[in-house]
Structure 1
Amino acid sequence: MRIGFDAKRYFLNQTGLGNYSRDLIRILTHHYPENEYIKYTPKIKGSRFRSDEFVKNTKLPQGRLNNLFSSFWRSNRIVEDLKRDNIAIFHGLSGEIPVGLKENNIKSVVTIHDLIFLKFPELYKRIDRYIYHKKFKHAVNNADKIVAISQQTKRDIMEFYHIPSDRIEVIYQVCHPSFKDPKTDEQKEELRRKYNLPNRFLLNVGSVEPRKNAFQIVKAIETLDIPLIIVGKTTKYAKKIKAYIAEKGLENRVFLMQGFTMEELSLIYAMADIFIYPSIYEGFGIPIIEALYSGTPVITTNSGVFPEAGGPSSYYIDPNSVTQLTEAIQTILNNPALQQEMIVEGIKYAQRFNDQTIAEAWNNLYAGTVQIR
């Protein structure tokens, strides 16, 4: 099979959709090398992912017009390239597919990660909501197959776009292999010295924004004698957290950090006593899976997608309750037997997200979609 991918995020997004795209193509290439995987992107310039490994089988817009209007090429004129390259199926990795695939007998599948812009419209500008809705509506109504990254996202697609259940498959994400590699005490100590990390700490990783709710963790640990590390880019919300930290005199207890490599980040996960993720809403929540693979107990939200991602061994709380979060942290820290049970059962649960399982699901879906008449 010759499979084409919308690879804009693959090259230009360092986290989130970029990680999803890179991890998916990585596992497919490894487990099903008999297929051809061709990546289409409007540009590579400025990408961190420009090594031979990443740019292999990559196609850019050709000709002055397509380069000048690369967004239009990606959403429309790319179909001519797909026809010329004999692409059997095109995969929109981030909620959109080009116009004209059906008319040119090119099968398609689209991944929908979340519908946050519909669930929480107040978080988005009106113009952004309009653009996302237009792209997503076209994708779910025209793709031969829709893939949601969780049962929660599938329910949202059915609710907001009235798509029948049988048109939507659920295929989970995988996480970067770094989180699955065993970590040595020497590696941990070297990283601890490099970044002056505390001996024990709680961890939160993700975009530092109101929906992710990291502020709750800061409030929850005010009376606890254990540091907190929040990993994420500086934002307006992060600045509010920093102001609160200064106001409460928590500068030596709460640390906002960023800029780690994936290998360093996986070490930090493995070093943490507890991973805390009290997000209000997610399409999936890949940091939870990263924590489970890392052998780190997880505290997360008790509704939505979070029990689906965290499994039966994670500790669930109301994300709006600081008291519940404080009590959850204390319960786990004071109970070594519970910690060990959460670690062992968490690693076991995480195996449903392993590379081979997910790659097989995708290969079967591609093959089945190509055969649709």
Structure 2
Amino acid sequence: MNIGFDAKRAYHNGTGLGFFSRVLIKLMAAHYPQHNYYLFNPKPGTLFQPETTNIREILPTQSLHKLLSSAWRSKWVTKDLQKLKIDLYHGPSQEIPRGIPQTGIASVVTIHDLFPELYPQDFKPIDVKIYRTKLRYACNYANKIMAISEETKGHIVEKYGTDPARIDVAYQSCDPIFNVIEGVDKKEVIREKYGLPQQFFLHVGTIIERKNLLNICKALKLVQEEIELPLVVVGKGSDYKEKVKQYLIDNQLEEKVIFLSDQLAARGKKPFIATEDFPGLYQLSTAMIYPSFYEGFGMPIIEAMSGGVPVITSTTSCMPEIAGDAAFLANPERPEEMAEGFRKFYGDASYRNAAIAKGLQNAERFSPGKYVQSVMNIYNSAL
């Protein structure tokens, strides 16, 4: 079978959708080597380096298509799909090309979340309009919709009236590097490289209101007399980050929160974490806290658990669905509940060890083999 992918994110996005696309493509090509995988990339990029011979990058060749590469990706690419005899096309980032139903080529679209629908105030009006147009088209015309959680599936049905029978849930798998328990020496190299303290709590995610960093900081204030551990924050931010920083200043908590990108920049280093260092970074932490108000999936939960790191997360959205009974669940509106999670993982070794064991077991639900099997089942049902 010839399988095509919208590969813009794989080649050009260094964060969420890029990680998702790269992991998906690599796992499918490795587990199902009998198929050919065509990556339709609107312009050259360097973030993805395929490692198997059954993956082929396709770039626009006509001058007009190169000049208007976004139009090629969103519509004109259908001619290339037909020319290459693509049997199935997968849009892994919430959209499919216009006109693909007329080609007779089966299509699958992955829907990760409905953030602009649920939180339109957090986006520019033009971005919300573009998002809705692309997503509605994909939900109306894709042969199959792949939702990354039951939570996301429910929102698609609620917001767009899509027939639930057209939507299958396929839980993601994290990059296999997170399943490796790093040795002491490797972790110490990472600690020194990024200037990390001996013990710390960890928060991973873009610094925006939905990720709830301010309430994490309020929880830290509640335990500041009991627990000396700082919080290491990995992620970028702007206005909301400044709001959090002002809270820290007002409450004399500046030394309790380390914004890792800022610290690296201050040391004259590149302000980001190398992908291969993330597992060790997680595993150096006492616990990872991720109390978002809403997520489509919550990948850091699985990344942490896969490496034996206990997790504090939310009672809301998809977090209980993904974390199962392996995490400490806290109401994201209540810093006092997060503070209790800090106390449990810092002061109760037996509780922490039990959570680690449960987390490793829970992570098996999201193994690469189970993931690619569920995706291939969706592909076959779309044909």
TM-score of the two chains, using structure 1 as the length reference: 0.95
* 8 Å CA contact retained: 2:181, 2:308: no
Residue 347 of structure 2: aligned partner: 334
* 8 Å CA contact retained: 2:314, 2:331: yes
Amino acid paired to 2:120: P
Instruction: Give 1:260's match in structure 2, choosing from 244, 248, 273.
Output: 273
Instruction: Give 1:272's match in structure 2, choosing from 266, 274, 285.
Output: 285
Amino acid paired to 1:3: I
Deviations 1:91-131, CA, capped at 9 Å, x for gaps: 01111001111111100000000001111111111111110
Residue 297 of structure 1: aligned partner: 310
Write the distance in 1 (CA, Å) between the matches of 2:218 and 2:37: 47
Write the distance in 1 (CA, Å) between the matches of 2:27 and 2:230: 36
Residue 268 of structure 2: aligned partner: none
Aligned pairs for 1:1-373 (under 5 A) are: 1-45=1-45, 47-49=46-48, 56-222=55-221, 223=224, 224-258=227-261, 259-370=272-383
* 8 Å CA contact retained: 2:146, 2:378: no
Deviations 1:133-176, CA, capped at 9 Å, x for gaps: 00000000000000100000000000001011111000011111
3-state SS of the aligned residue for 2:232? strand
Q: What is the CA-CA distance between 1:247 and the residue it aligns to?
A: 3.3
Write the distance in 2 (CA, Å) between the matches of 1:234 and 1:302: 24
* 8 Å CA contact retained: 1:178, 1:262: no
Amino acid paired to 2:300: P
Write the distance in 2 (CA, Å) between the matches of 1:324 and 1:4: 46
Amino acid paired to 1:227: P
* 8 Å CA contact retained: 1:44, 1:50: no
Q: What is the CA-CA distance between 1:56 and the residue it aligns to?
A: 4.8
Q: What is the CA-CA distance between 1:332 and the residue it aligns to?
A: 2.6
* 8 Å CA contact retained: 2:211, 2:293: yes
Aligned length: 369
Q: What is the CA-CA distance between 1:199 and the residue it aligns to?
A: 1.0
TM-score of the two chains, using structure 2 as the length reference: 0.93
Write the distance in 2 (CA, Å) between the matches of 1:183 and 1:152: 33
* 8 Å CA contact retained: 1:76, 1:98: yes
Q: What is the CA-CA distance between 1:54 and the residue it aligns to?
A: 11
Deviations 1:244-291, CA, capped at 9 Å, x for gaps: 333333333210113111221111111111110010101010011101
Structure 1 moving runs of 4+ over 4 Å: 50-56
* Residues 155/266 of structure 1: CA separation in 2 closer, same or farther (3 Å cut): same
Q: Percent identity?
A: 38
Write the distance in 2 (CA, Å) between the matches of 1:195 and 1:132: 37
Write the distance in 2 (CA, Å) between the matches of 1:362 and 1:44: 27
* 8 Å CA contact retained: 2:202, 2:285: yes
Which structure 1 segments of 5+ residues have no match? none
* 8 Å CA contact retained: 1:42, 1:70: yes
Amino acid paired to 2:8: K
3-state SS of the aligned residue for 1:203? strand
3-state SS of the aligned residue for 1:4? strand
Write the distance in 2 (CA, Å) between the matches of 1:158 and 1:105: 25
Amino acid paired to 1:283: G
Which structure 2 segments of 5+ residues have no match? 262-271
Write the distance in 2 (CA, Å) between the matches of 1:366 and 1:22: 18
Amino acid paired to 2:173: V
